[in-house]
Structure formats: structure tokens, C-alpha cells
């Protein structure tokens, strides 16, 4: 069984998804679940992914999930080191990315 009920891949606006990203995202989701596609667009990046129908109901709609994950797409410094996030319902979400934010010490 999968560890995630929402999975997406994030990339810079000038890039796009590759087949390997779609395969990775789908492999993180339960095989027998009904999946609903979604997209999130920020100022400099986008994410495309899927959510299970069950988690959409538990989170009060797909728009709520998109809003919750939108801060990560808008600002990569909000990402987590293991790409995972816990939604208010307790379900897990994943947003993969080929790039990671590195914060250099401030003076």
C-alpha cells in the first residue's frame, strides 16, 4: 500500500514534466484508488499531480488541497527535505522536484 494520497512533481516554469516524473508520481499512489488530476502554478514554478478521491472528500475538495500545497510551489524554500507533507486530515502528500532550495547563511 502507498504512503501517499496526494502526489505531484514540481518544476520551473520554463521546464515541463517528463515521463519519469509521471511514473514516479503514479507509483506513490494507491493502485486501486480513483485518481483526480490537478495542477498548481506559482510565480516561478508549476506542479502537476494526482489526488485520491477519498482524500479530496476528507480535505473538503481539490481546491483546498491545491491551496495547501500552493505555498510550496510558490516558494521552494517551503519544501521539505523528504518531499512529504501532512495534510490537516492526517493524510500524506508528496511533491517531488529535481531541484532543492539551498539557503546560504545570512550576514
Q: Where are the domains of the chain?
A: 6-97
CA dist 10 and 22 (Å) reads 11
Cell of 56: 479530496
At 74 the pLDDT is 80
Residue with cell 494526482: 50
Place of cell 508549476: 46
Q: What pLDDT does 71 receive? A: 84
pTM: 0.82
3-state secondary structure of 42: coil
Residue 107 clears pLDDT 80, i.e. is over it: no
Give the least confident one: 4-8, 38-42, 54-58, 78-82.
Answer: 78-82
Q: What is the mean pLDDT of residues 44-64?
A: 92
Amino acid at each position: 500500500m502507498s504512503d501517499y494520497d496526494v502526489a505531484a512533481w514540481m518544476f520551473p516554469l520554463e521546464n515541463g514534466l517528463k515521463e519519469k516524473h509521471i511514473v514516479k508520481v503514479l507509483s506513490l499512489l494507491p493502485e486501486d484508488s480513483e485518481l483526480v488530476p490537478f495542477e498548481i502554478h506559482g510565480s516561478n514554478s508549476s506542479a502537476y499531480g494526482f489526488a485520491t478521491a477519498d482524500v479530496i472528500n476528507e480535505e473538503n475538495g481539490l481546491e483546498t488541497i491545491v491551496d495547501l500545497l500552493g505555498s510550496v510551489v510558490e516558494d521552494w524554500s517551503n519544501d521539505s527535505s523528504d518531499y512529504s507533507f501532512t495534510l490537516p486530515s492526517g493524510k500524506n502528500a508528496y511533491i517531488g522536484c529535481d531541484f532543492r532550495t539551498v539557503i546560504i547563511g545570512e550576514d
